[in-house]
Amino acid sequence: MSFFGFGQSVDVDILLNDADSRRRAEHKTEDGKKDKYFLFYDGETVSGKVSLALKNPNKRLEHQGIKVEFIGQIELYYDRGNHHEFVSLVKDLARPGEVTQSQAFDFEFTHVEKPYESYTGQNVKLRYFLRATISRRLNDVVKEMDIVVHTLSTYPELNSSIKMEVGIEDCLHIEFEYNKSKYHLKDVIVGKIYFLLVRIKIKHMEIDIIKRETTGTGPNVYHENDTIAKYEIMDGAPVRGESIPIRLFLAGYELTPTMRDINKKFSVRYYLNLVLIDDEERRYFKQQEVVLWRKGDIVRKSMSHQAAIASQRFEGTTPLGEARTPGPLSDGGSRQ
């Protein structure tokens, strides 16, 4: 119904031109649930229609203009009043006037830059969405439609292994090795652990995958650690000279690419945490950062040429977050 006789209410919808053929991807929402959204890549064109359906065809709709926007923004949960937009494109669909019947307006955002991956975390959300607005004197009519963006990377063949000797002086000395320092999201972590000296009674050993989300800057920095996976390596006491293999499949876990200093607002890093527990329940651990990335060969055949080029953007460059090689537990490790 009309509001105090002013104008006419209207249903607004946003329809993509390739909705029937475009792939959808699952994405976690703020409440932890998963939903499916249309999937886009950097460089792809976003086009479609904004549909207006008058609820009462016998009345006209007065407006101050109709527009559609493509927006990429970061929202920090502790600062919800401020939305940090890193992409903002606008198309005017109609000048101020009247809508006398239901109609649709075409729009196209060509080769849109989408530099970051969609992300929903503990303290931050990065989202892309289309927003159609009918400007009114009293209250605007707004319709939003979220999409999901995946960033594709192609890393060089040089991918050094991680090899470290760690221990506690005169008590424990182990050597562990991971086959690579950079893994794609469907990769397999292969490694081994070799016991050189064992003078404490180890009863359990595991590897944890830890996601560390960092938001804010300066004094307002927040860190959130989330244990994504626990992989039991050993149950029982090892002896000197024993070697234990590791094979951890990443495809079964909810992982994102490593994200570093995204628009100077947040970062997401991943660590492999080697944990040893002795018979007195003391815990010894060593963390090693690894880089996760989304493999570029999943590009769909129907993907635009511009997006295919964008997926190769990092080819031949050294990726951020080269893995460090910390010292032994006695120097840089930790004991709880």
pLDDT at 216: 84
Percent of the chain having pLDDT more than 70? 85
What average pLDDT score do residues 252-260 get? 94
> Does residue 335 carry a pLDDT above 70?
no
Q: Does residue 95 carry a pLDDT above 80? A: yes
pLDDT digit string (tens) for 21-67? 999 999 988 887 889 999 999 999 999 999 999 888 778 888 999 99
* Mean pLDDT of the chain, nearest integer: 83
Q: Which has the minimum average pLDDT: 97-111, 233-247, 304-318?
A: 304-318
Q: How far apart, in whole angstroms, are the C-alpha atoms of residue 120 and residue 25?
A: 14
Which CATH number, 1.20.1090.10, 3.90.1170.40, 2.60.40.640, 3.40.190.10, labels domain 10-149? Answer: 2.60.40.640
> From CA 279, how far away is CA 200, in angstroms rounded?
9
Q: What is the mean pLDDT of residues 130-141?
A: 92
Q: Is the pLDDT of residue 265 over 90?
A: yes
Tell me the longest C-alpha to C-alpha distance in the chain: 89
The amino acid sitting at 298 is I
Higher-pLDDT residue of 40 and 160 is: 40
Residue 5 has pLDDT above 70, yes or no: no
pTM: 0.81
| CATH fold of the domain at 162-293 | Immunoglobulin-like (2.60.40)
- Write out pLDDT tens, residues 168-195: 777 888 888 999 999 999 999 999 989 8
| HSE value, Cβ hemisphere, 13 Å, CA-based, for 329 | 22
pLDDT value, residue 158:
75
Is residue 228's pLDDT more than 50?
yes
The whole-number pLDDT of residue 156 equals 63
Q: Per-residue pLDDT for 96 more than 80?
A: yes
| Local confidence band at 106 (pLDDT 50, 70, 90 cut-offs) | very high
Strands 188-198 and 243-249: antiparallel
Answer for the pair 189, 248: CB distance below 8 angstroms, yes or no.
Answer: yes
CB 268 within 8 A of CB 121: yes
d(CA 289, CA 287): 7
**b/e sequence 219-253, b meaning 16+ C-beta within 10 Å:** eeeeeeeeeebeeebbeeebeeeeeeebebebeee
| 222 has a pLDDT exceeding 70 | yes
Is the pLDDT assigned to residue 223 strictly greater than 50?
yes
pLDDT band at 334 (very low <50, low <70, confident <90, very high): very low
Paired strand residues for 22: none
- All CATH 2.60.40.640 domain ranges of the chain, comma separated, are 10-149, 162-293
Q: Using 50, 70 and 90 to split pLDDT, how confident is the model at 336?
A: very low
**Angle, vertex CA 152, rays to CA 147 and CA 155, nearest 5:** 165
- The identity of residue 85, as a single letter, is E
